[in-house]
Amino acid sequence: MIKKIQAYLKKEQIDSAFLTSTENVTYTTGFRSDPHERWLAVYVPAEGEAILICPGMEVEDAGAAGWSGPIIGYSDTENPLQLLKENVQSFNSLAIEKNHLTVERLELLHEVFGDFKTYPAENFMNELRVIKSDDELKLLKKAAELADFAIETACSELTEGKTELDVLSKIEYELKKKGITEMSFSTMVLTGENASSPHGTPGDTTIKKGDLVLFDLGVVYKGYCSDITRTVAFGEISNKQQEIYETVLKAELTALEMVKPGVKASQLDKAARKVIEDAGYGDYFPHRLGHGLGLNVHEFPSITSESDFVLEEGMTFTIEPGIYVPKVAGVRIEDDVLVTKDGYETLTKFPKTLQTIKV
């Protein structure tokens, strides 16, 4: 990866790159860490060795993760930028993650290194990361497998009178028993009217007969994320709820069947959205169809009706149409999708046909 970054820098005539997001540090070095307020970065010159900058107490961990290049480990009383300056030549141009590096930290870079011109690094890094390697796909598939397990656990825990938080805590407890210590995002268990909020917050609402219950969750497995949503029926549901569910399912399947190399991402969103609009629920589908998936749970590309990028083999993203009718129902169905040579593979396998939990 370092060589690809250096080739890009030479092509664009940029002296160096300074990558600071946890995900891009992981991608380039294999070392994953949450530095909290401390500096974590990779300095990549157009020529020469890349340098990892991390807290001194994590130097050994970085080596164990497979990074064999130079490391600047610093104490809490040292300035890591000053240490970097002592180890590199001056530069006149620097590619940075403008969507990550704060103004304050950019000013600190200027204080140490003087005047230099900045260029965006995020677009190139997005392009580099969008096609997943075989090793990455193995990790994504395992993360998806664990997400399926979590949904199975959730369904088995549904009993009348339990709260959303009761079910949520059981999901995460069972995942911890399998070695998962981090979720991709805050787990959602939303029942009844609560599910009509696309990003609702689980609470003490109890599961009741006739509810649709929405689960949205994902796990982080060795740095790679999964993201799945399933909506299930707790007992018999109304005809209206059934209609909404079947509409969302049709929308998702319509988009899935279009996935193959050469297709514009915008076509997926438009096709799924048309299914929902034709059923009279267009105003109740307020978000994009999906998003890229990898080291970030939400990463490039964003799948909207205006997305102009073309699908390629090896891309991974979500497809997640939804309908949210206040005081009636909220339904979302989401899968993690891999673009294959001839079509697609859903990495998440839990059934999408409506699952009815017996009361």
Residue-wise pLDDT tens digits, 72-97: 999 999 999 999 999 998 899 999 99
Any idea how long the chain is?
359
Same domain, 118 and 145: no
* Mean pLDDT, residues 302-310: 96
Q: Are 188 and 215 in contact (CB under 8 A)?
A: yes
57-68 pLDDT, tens digit each: 999 999 999 999
Last residue of a domain, one of 108, 129, 150: 129
Last residue of a domain, one of 99, 129, 159: 129
Same domain, 90 and 164: no
Confidence band of 194 (pLDDT split at 50, 70, 90): very high
| Average pLDDT for the chain | 97
Please say if the pLDDT value at position 327 is more than 90: no
> Distance between CA atoms of 336 and 120, rounded to whole angstroms?
29
Same domain, 60 and 144: no
Q: Of 337, 275, 277, which is closest to residue 303 (Cα–Cα)? A: 337
Return the pLDDT at 89.
85
Q: Of 256, 263, 261, 265, which is closest to residue 342 (Cα–Cα)? A: 261
What angle do helix axes 122-130 and 2-12 make, rounded to 10 degrees?
Answer: 140
232-291 pLDDT, tens digit each: 999 999 999 999 999 999 999 999 999 999 999 999 999 999 999 999 999 999 999 999
> Distance between CA atoms of 313 and 311, rounded to whole angstroms?
7
Same domain, 252 and 282: yes
Boundaries of domain holding 192: 131-357
Q: Are 339 and 311 in contact (CB under 8 A)?
A: yes
Same domain, 196 and 162: yes
Return the pLDDT at 92.
97
Q: Are 112 and 319 in contact (CB under 8 A)?
A: no
Same domain, 125 and 170: no
Return the pLDDT at 224.
98
* Mean pLDDT, residues 16-24: 97
Cis previous bond, 301, omega within 30 = yes
3-state secondary structure 260-325: CCCCEHHHHHHHHHHHHHHCCCHHHCCCCCEEECCCCCCEEEEECCCCCCECCCCEEEEECCEEEE
Same domain, 167 and 90: no
CATH number at residue 157: 3.90.230.10
Q: Of 317, 325, 324, which is closest to residue 299 (Cα–Cα)? A: 317
Region label for 167, one of left (φ > 0), alpha (ψ between -120 and 50) or beta (otherwise): alpha
Same domain, 178 and 45: no
Instruction: Indicate the residue type of 287.
Output: H
Q: Are 191 and 211 in contact (CB under 8 A)?
A: yes
CATH number at residue 21: 3.40.350.10
Last residue of a domain, one of 129, 154, 186: 129
Confidence band of 26 (pLDDT split at 50, 70, 90): very high
Same domain, 161 and 88: no
Same domain, 115 and 226: no
Q: What tokens appear for 316 in the block? A: 């991974």
Q: Are 314 and 341 in contact (CB under 8 A)?
A: no
Same domain, 139 and 78: no
Same domain, 24 and 85: yes
> For the chain, what is the domain count?
2
132-181 pLDDT, tens digit each: 999 999 999 999 999 999 999 999 999 999 999 999 999 999 999 999 99
